Amino acid sequence: MLRIVDRYLARELAWSFAAATAILLLVTVGATVADLLAKIARGRVAADLLLALIGLRTVDALTLLVPLAAFLGVQMAYGRLYRESEMAVFAASGLPATGLLRPLALFGVPLAVAIALVSFWLAPAAVRQAQALQEEASRSLIIAGLEPGRFVELPKNDGVMYVEEMNADGTKFQKLFLESERANAKDGSTGINIVTAASGELFHDADGAQRFLGLNDGFRVEGTLGQDNWRLMRYARNDIQLPDNDTDTTPDSVKRSAPTLQLLGSADPVQRIELLWRLAAPVSVLVLVLLGLPLAKSSPREPRYARLLIALLAWFVYYNFLALDRSWLSQGKLDPRIGFWWVQIPAALIAVYLIWRGDKLPKPRAVRVRMQPGAA
């Protein structure tokens, strides 16, 4: 049976966590949108994938966002109770500081289980899905935003492109018109480049990294506005390189997208480190929630966000130690059997010590009475 105070404190923690999560999500989504819009403007990401990539990247960011939101939620909830003297009322009613651990466990343990599901399954699946969408977009002109029978502006206002017909998968087209402009930095003149083709196709090189438009039976006209030195070339075949797609195939992205079951049975040190990093997310939730309880203790006269700034500094130090640990593991400077425990166990012990110390009453100080000469 839950006590009334347990339900009350768990509700306060849930509301504060929801508020912190909403703020952090807003910041994360804003940064993601700005990054994706910049890549769309450079032609590296298809515009139609904007909303899907925002959602998938947000899921991937939850492993970092949720532990911080839980830490801030504890700070805001218990900090308010200390400032409004509710904690003093609880203490006067016989509830010690260790009695606050029960509602903290009701809040932190289910949250750690949820973030474990995200870290081990949802986040890698989101990374794989994002890579699949971008890979598919790089192989189709339709997904990249080109529509048959309509003039489409090229990224960075470099010109326009038009195709009359296109097959269902967007890899072959008929009757292409491509016009682009380039400014000459020396004299400020504008160069014009016009390409036409009776037919063509979209293909990749042998490595699958670069995209090309293969044009057949067309003309190419080059010149400068206001001058008469124009050139006309007719070709049977002309390959034009398109901007690189933004599919992330770096080793770090590949291991982040690997299924957890694959990591469990792997002897590769890199994949073992990735498995330890995924385990660090739910453990961090428990450690930070426990650490947030003593750091939230304040007096009613303290500034409203003074303890919150100290807590953010503590989280910054904690997270940077985890990042440093991951770097050492990747470089082989640290035994994988140690993992991230050398950071998490001391942090948990510090939290337990601070809670135990805060539950103890201060020793009374001895008062010396000085007798004045001649006093009876």
pTM of the complete model beyond 0.85: no
Q: What is the pLDDT of residue 154?
A: 66
The alpha helices in the chain, defined as continuous H runs, are 4-41, 50-83, 86-92, 101-117, 123-138, 251-257, 260-264, 269-295, 306-331, 341-359
In DSSP notation, 227-290 reads: ----EEEEEEEEEEEPPPP----SHHHHHHHS-HHHHHT---HHHHHHHHHHHHHHHHHHHHHH
Integer Cα distance of 314 and 6 in angstroms? 27
One-letter identity of residue 126: A
| Confidence grade of residue 285 (pLDDT, cut at 50, 70, 90) | very high
In angstroms, how far is CA 371 from the centroid of its own chain?
69
pLDDT tops 60 at residue 254:
no
Integer Cα distance of 192 and 230 in angstroms? 9
pLDDT tops 60 at residue 246:
no
Integer Cα distance of 53 and 87 in angstroms? 44
Integer Cα distance of 118 and 198 in angstroms? 50
Parse the chain into domains and list their residue ranges: 4-137+249-359, 152-241
| 358 or 224, greater pLDDT | 224
Strands 190-204 and 172-183: antiparallel
What contacts 17, CB < 8 A, 6 or more positions away? 69, 70, 72, 73, 77, 107, 111
Contact call for residues 61 and 256 (beta carbons, < 8 A) = no
Instruction: Tell me the average pLDDT across 55-81.
Output: 90
pLDDT tops 80 at residue 31:
yes
Query: How much of the chain exceeds pLDDT 70, in percent?
Result: 81
Integer Cα distance of 237 and 299 in angstroms? 78
Integer Cα distance of 182 and 223 in angstroms? 10
One-letter identity of residue 113: V
Integer Cα distance of 42 and 21 in angstroms? 31
Report in angstroms the alpha-carbon separations of 216 from 5, 162, 173, 222: 77, 15, 10, 18
When the pLDDT of each residue in the chain is averaged and rounded to a whole number, the result is: 80
Contact call for residues 211 and 224 (beta carbons, < 8 A) = no
Secondary structure letter of residue 308 according to DSSP:
H
Contact call for residues 246 and 41 (beta carbons, < 8 A) = no
Integer Cα distance of 361 and 348 in angstroms? 22
Q: What is the pLDDT of residue 206?
A: 59
pLDDT tops 80 at residue 243:
no
| Confidence grade of residue 327 (pLDDT, cut at 50, 70, 90) | confident
| Confidence grade of residue 172 (pLDDT, cut at 50, 70, 90) | confident
194 - beta bridge partners?
179, 221
